[in-house]
């Protein structure tokens, strides 16, 4: 699943437990745009629960969010609050031991892939395979 992500060379991941500060563990770049995937890891099971993005295309150019992927992850809103607060709270509600967040910078000298379009493509692929969106995604 998501073989299109293999071409991106600037990528990484980090783990988040409910007791962690997201701003301390997030190693996503503050100077780039792209997509990110959050997986719930619980008793050896890995489940994709969220697909997100930072940045958008305007007139053929990528417009980066101030603070890049890192700021979107830490300060972007979800569940009515900044993710720095809402993700640990939601993890407790959903009984998730920890999250693995994989991030991918979707532009370089070789390609200029729009994060918004790629996010939509990933959500469509997930929905086609599973019959629903990831648990923490409300819509495409």
pLDDT tens digits, residue range 13-55? 999 999 999 999 999 999 999 999 999 998 889 999 999 999 7
pTM over cut 0.85: yes
**Contacts of residue 25, Cβ cutoff 8 Å, sequence gap at least 6:** 14, 15, 16
* Residue 116 to residue 35: CA distance in whole angstroms: 8
- Residue 110: its pLDDT value, please? 66
**Per-residue b or e along 9-34, where b marks 16 or more CB atoms closer than 10 Å to that residue's CB:** eebeebebebebebeeebebbeebbb
Show me where the domains of the chain are located: 3-108
What pLDDT was estimated at residue 104? 96
Q: Work out the pLDDT band at 62, boundaries 50, 70, 90.
A: low
pLDDT of residue 140 exceeding 60: no
Question: Which pLDDT score is estimated for 44?
Answer: 83
Give the integer Cα–Cα distance in Å for 36 and 13. Answer: 9
């Amino acid at each position: 699943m998501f073989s299109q992500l293999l071409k991106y060379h600037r990528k990484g991941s980090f783990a988040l437990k409910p007791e962690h500060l997201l701003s301390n563990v997030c190693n996503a770049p503050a100077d780039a745009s792209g997509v990110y995937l959050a997986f719930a890891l619980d008793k050896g099971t890995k489940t994709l629960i969220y697909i997100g993005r930072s940045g958008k295309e305007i007139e053929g150019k990528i417009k980066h969010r101030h603070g890049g992927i890192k700021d979107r992850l830490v300060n972007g809103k979800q569940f009515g609050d900044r993710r720095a607060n809402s993700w640990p709270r939601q993890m407790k509600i959903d009984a998730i031991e920890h999250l693995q967040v994989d991030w991918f910078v979707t532009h370089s000298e070789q390609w200029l892939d729009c994060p918004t379009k790629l996010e939509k493509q990933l959500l469509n692929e997930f929905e086609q395979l599973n019959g629903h969106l990831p648990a923490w995604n409300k819509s495409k």
